Amino acid sequence: MIHLENVSKVYNNGIEALKNISLDIDNGEFVFIVGPSGAGKSTFLKLLIREEKATFGKIIVSGYDLMKIRRSKIPYLRRKMGIVFQDFRLIAKMNVYDNVAFAMRVIGSPEKAIKKRVKEVLNLVELDGKEKRKPNEISGGEQQRVSLARALVNKPDMIIADEPTGNIDPDLSFDIMKLLVEINKTGTTVIIVTHEHDLVKEFGGRIITIEDGEIKSDEKYPTKYHEKEADKK
Ligand SMILES: Nc1ncnc2c1ncn2[C@@H]1O[C@H](COP(=O)(O)OP(=O)(O)O)[C@@H](O)[C@H]1O
Ligand SMILES: [Mg+2]
């Protein structure tokens, strides 16, 4: 579903943020992208969501050739993705319900379907009962769960998250990761950039290390969290 072939990104200032990257990510994978600050992790995600265009190479995402895609088609590409940012990017004036519903309204979903689906995703992220709160009336962890609900509401093929736990407490980070594992279990591809090495070790999955614009390692570990849960049952 994601295919990169000899991809490089050179910014206008001459910085080569990614150098000759080739990799494939299959449907349903759970992938961590790790590496030091400035390594090119965010650039990698920006290429996938076509916020930036690669300078060289080939990128295919969900059947779209991102080197050739027309600007008018980019919104269709993005509908296949749920994007989660470190700083949540919620709309301050809207309550929790409307922040999530908004993502469905902009694509013209009927209000009845919106009501049903928003209830579902708010239940999944355990925010039932907080629908009427504004972002400044809930905690950071809760705000990130709203942004996760918003990313999920249109049933994307993949979730792409850039340091989703960067602005929240460690114990809440764990909950966000657990939710991402749950989401992955339903078949959604999950790609998470993180610097939280402890969490990566805890959750396993595929771990791609980027350093200085290059793939330093790409390894698959068992997703430990699944096993832990199975033990409990
Ligand atoms: N829009 C931009 N213009 C110029 N240089 C950039 C831009 N975005 C990132 N860079 C540079 O590209 C490199 C990789 O950045 P980034 O992908 O944000 O790394 P990471 O997310 O791993 O910290 C860094 O040297 C950064 O300064
Ligand atoms: Mg970054």
**Domain assignment present for 4:** no
Alpha helix ranges (H) inside the chain: 41-48, 74-79, 96-105, 111-124, 140-152, 170-185, 197-203, 224-232
**Domain assignment present for 201:** yes
Q: Is the CB of 9 under 6 A from ligand 1?
A: no
Nearest C-alpha neighbor of 201 from the set 177, 182, 180, 184: 177
Q: Is the CB of 194 under 6 A from ligand 1?
A: no
Q: Is the CB of 76 under 6 A from ligand 1?
A: no
**Domain assignment present for 20:** no
CATH of the domain at 109: 3.40.50.300
Give per-residue pLDDT as tens, 125-160.
999 999 999 999 999 999 999 999 999 999 999 999
Q: Cα of 44 to ligand 2 centre, how many Å? A: 9
The pLDDT value given to residue 230: 47
Q: Is the CB of 38 under 6 A from ligand 1?
A: yes
Nearest C-alpha neighbor of 49 from the set 22, 19, 85, 92: 85
**Domain assignment present for 122:** yes
Say how many domains are in the chain. 1
Q: Is the CB of 41 under 6 A from ligand 1?
A: yes
Mutational test site, ligand 1, from 15, 16, 32, 209, max ligand atoms within 8 Å of CB: 15
Q: Which atom of ligand 1 is nearest to the CA of 193?
A: 21
The pLDDT value given to residue 171: 81
Q: Is the CB of 36 under 6 A from ligand 1?
A: no
Which residue in this structure is represented by tokens 């998470």?
192
In the structure, what pLDDT confidence band is assigned to residue 233 with cuts at 50, 70 and 90? very low
Mutational test site, ligand 1, from 8, 10, 11, max ligand atoms within 8 Å of CB: 11
Please state the pTM of the whole predicted model.
0.93
**Domain assignment present for 217:** yes
Q: Is the CB of 14 under 6 A from ligand 1?
A: no
Going by alpha carbons, the residue nearest to atom 26 of ligand 1 is 38
**Domain assignment present for 35:** yes
Range of the domain at 187: 28-50+74-232
Mean pLDDT of 9-24: 98
Give per-residue pLDDT as tens, 175-202.
899 999 999 999 999 999 998 888 898 8
Give per-residue pLDDT as tens, 71-114.
999 999 999 999 999 999 999 999 999 999 999 999 999 999 99
**Domain assignment present for 199:** yes
**Domain assignment present for 228:** yes
Residues 6+ apart with CB under 8 A from 10: 16, 17, 55
Q: Residue 20: is its pLDDT beyond 70?
A: yes
